[in-house]
């Protein structure tokens, strides 16, 4: 199999680009698959690794809306979700998934799709375990085909 072409985050557009992706996305919690799809979107934005949006139907665990929200200048108001742990009915993972229930123009396709921070679960793209985007604010997924300095770590806030 030929190597994957590199994706340089400095070549990604601003404003961001929303595209359908056929990459195989999986999310695991303690070795149990809790989401699995090849029907997803990714958002590509300058200096950010891709942020993936999975259909709600890809998730095998109950999702409960959270009162927490945030605002993206490109996509609008985000709704956050709490996820029930697969191995403990009383354990809830709070505010680690989000969606845009009324996205802005140009992002309508991700209405109802969910994105996740990489942690506390294990996220995979085409079988490769991803690393989280640096910092604790952005939700990008870093794979071996991503190159260039990524926003999110110390000293990158004002880029």
How do residues 135-151 score in pLDDT, each as one tens digit? 988 999 999 999 999 99
The predicted-structure confidence for 72-118, as pLDDT tens digits, reads as follows: 999 999 999 999 877 777 788 999 999 999 999 999 999 999 999 99
Q: CA-to-CA distance for 8 and 78, rounded, in angstroms?
A: 27
pLDDT at 1: 67
Calpha distance 130→98 (Å, rounded): 18
In this prediction, residue 33 has a pLDDT band, given cuts at 50, 70 and 90, of: very high
pLDDT of residue 35: 97
The answer to whether residue 157 scores a pLDDT higher than 80 is no
Q: Is residue 90 exposed (0-12), middle (13-18) or buried (19+ Cβ within 10 Å)?
A: exposed
Instruction: Give CA–CA dist 3/68, Å, rounded.
Output: 41
Tell me the mean pLDDT in the region 15-22.
96
- State whether residue 141 is helix, strand or coil: strand
Task: Give the model's pLDDT for residue 84.
Answer: 84
What is the rounded CA–CA span in Å between residue 116 and residue 99?
9
Name the CA radius of gyration of the chain, rounded. 15
Q: Which domains does the chain have, with CATH numbers?
A: 7-125 (2.170.150.40)
Compute CA 154 distance to the chain's CA centroid, rounded to the nearest angstrom: 21
Position 21 confidence tier, pLDDT thresholds 50, 70, 90: very high
Q: Which two tokens stand for residue 45?
A: 């934005």
Query: What tens digit of pLDDT does each residue of 49-75 get?
Result: 999 999 999 999 989 999 999 999 999
Specify the pLDDT at position 12.
Answer: 97
- Taking alpha carbons only, the member of 49, 46, 40, 38 closest to residue 109 is 40
Give me 98's structure tokens: 């989000």
């Amino acid at each position: 199999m030929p190597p994957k072409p590199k994706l340089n985050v400095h070549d990604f557009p601003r404003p961001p680009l929303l595209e359908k992706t056929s990459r195989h996305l999986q999310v695991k919690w303690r070795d149990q698959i809790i989401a699995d799809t090849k029907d997803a979107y990714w958002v590509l934005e300058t200096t950010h690794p891709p942020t993936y949006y999975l259909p709600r139907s890809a998730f095998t665990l109950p999702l409960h809306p959270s009162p927490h929200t945030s605002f993206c200048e490109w996509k609008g108001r985000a709704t956050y979700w709490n996820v029930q742990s697969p191995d403990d009915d009383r354990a809830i993972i709070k505010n680690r998934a989000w969606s845009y229930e009324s996205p802005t123009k140009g992002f309508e396709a991700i209405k109802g799709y969910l994105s996740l921070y990489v942690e506390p679960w294990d996220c995979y793209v085409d079988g490769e375990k991803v690393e989280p985007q640096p910092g604790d604010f952005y939700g990008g997924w870093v794979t071996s085909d991503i190159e260039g300095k990524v926003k999110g770590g110390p000293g990158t806030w004002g880029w």
